């Protein structure tokens, strides 16, 4: 069965620290897609990135970077030089053929960045 | 470009009262539509999804129901609210083409049942 595990419930860092949010997924499908979303205090989930199972190249977007490793079924998200505005809940998600129309979400990691 | 609307933004309702939350999507056709609920400090719980007009799949048995009267309209309803129905309700849409598509979320409705 498909599953997304975000073992870190809450993380607290001081501004300018680097922080990595872990995501481990389970799927039997060979074709699947992984996503990260950010939920700021306002509540709306904001899409950050999509990665397909055939592309293990890491991606960097400004202070954000993502490390996809199929060998460990992980899709970790790193924020470099964190800022107070990064404080939010971050969700990792999986879409595969088994799930069909549904996207499977992890429980989320709440990140607190203190000034 | 596509946009998704939800209303109302916030709602305070007494126990036993009815509920109707509306979600509409603009700029796309035949989307997959989803209702999620998020309790305070918790993750996302998928309630219903729809792949077409009149087609509703229920994920969790409860006193809520959903309807899709038009292609880009998704409604969440209840005849009698319970205290446990309080939470943050999020509507989402996804293009209907396949698993590679990204799901996009609306601004949400905060419901407090007293």
| Three-state secondary-structure class, residue A22 | coil
pLDDT at B94 over 90: yes
Provide the token pair at A56. Answer: 């293990």
For residue A107, the chain B residues in CB contact (below 8 A) are 42-43
Q: What is the mean pLDDT of residues B20-31?
A: 95
Which pLDDT band holds residue B61 (cuts at 50, 70, 90)? low
**Mean pLDDT value across residues B84-104:** 91
State how far the Cα of A49 lies from the Cα of A60, in Å rounded to an integer.
Answer: 10
- Is the per-residue pLDDT at B2 higher than 90? no
Q: Please give the structure tokens belonging to residue A53.
A: 């199972």
Contact A97 B49 (CB under 8 A): no
DSSP for chain B, please give it: --EEEEE-SEEEE-TT--EEEEEEEES-SS-EEEEEEE-TT---EEEEEEEETTEEEESS-SSEEEEEEETTEEEEEESS--GGG-EEEEEEEE-TT-TTSPPEE---EEEEE-
Cross-sheet strand order for the sheet of B19-26: B3-7, B19-26, B73-78, B64-70
CB A66 within 8 A of CB A58: yes
pLDDT for the residue numbered A56: 86
Tell me which residue in B99, B107, B108 faces A95 most closely, judged by beta carbons: B99
The model's confidence at residue A66, banded by pLDDT at 50, 70 and 90, is very high
A55 is written with which tokens? 């592309």
**With an 8 Å Cβ cutoff, is B52 touching chain A?**
no
For chains A and B, what is the number of CB pairs under 8 angstroms? Answer: 56
Task: Provide mean pLDDT across the span A37-45.
Answer: 94
Contact B105 A45 (CB under 8 A): yes
Cβ of residue A52 closer than 8 Å to a chain B Cβ:
yes
Q: In this predicted model, what pLDDT tens digit does every residue of A84-115 receive, in sequence order?
A: 999 999 999 999 988 888 899 999 999 999 99
* CA–CA dist B111, B113 (Å, integer): 6
Enclosing H/E stretch for A86? none
Instruction: Tell me which chain A residue has its CA closest to the CA of residue B95.
Output: A101
């Amino acid at each position: 069965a498909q599953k997304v595990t975000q073992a870190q419930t809450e993380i607290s860092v001081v501004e300018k620290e680097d922080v990595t949010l872990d995501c481990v997924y389970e799927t039997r499908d060979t074709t699947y897609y992984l996503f990260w979303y950010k939920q700021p205090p306002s509540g709306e989930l904001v899409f950050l990135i999509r990665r397909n199972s055939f592309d293990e190249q890491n991606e960097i977007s400004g202070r954000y970077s993502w490390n996809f490793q199929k060998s460990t079924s992980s899709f970790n998200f790193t924020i470099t030089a964190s800022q107070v505005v990064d404080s939010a809940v971050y969700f990792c998600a999986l879409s595969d053929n088994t799930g069909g129309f549904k996207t499977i979400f992890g429980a989320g990691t709440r990140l607190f960045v203190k000034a | 470009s596509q946009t998704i609307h939800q209303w109302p933004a916030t709602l305070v309702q007494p126990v036993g009262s009815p509920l109707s939350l509306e979600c509409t999507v603009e700029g796309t056709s035949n989307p997959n539509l989803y209702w999620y609920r998020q309790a305070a400090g918790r993750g996302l719980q998928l309630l219903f999804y729809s792949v077409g007009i009149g087609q509703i799949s229920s994920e969790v048995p409860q006193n809520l129901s959903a309807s899709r009267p038009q292609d880009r309209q998704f409604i969440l309803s209840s005849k009698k609210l319970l205290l446990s129905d309080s939470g943050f309700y999020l509507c989402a849409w996804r293009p209907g083409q396949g698993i590679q598509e990204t799901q996009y979320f609306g601004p949400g409705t905060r419901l407090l049942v007293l």
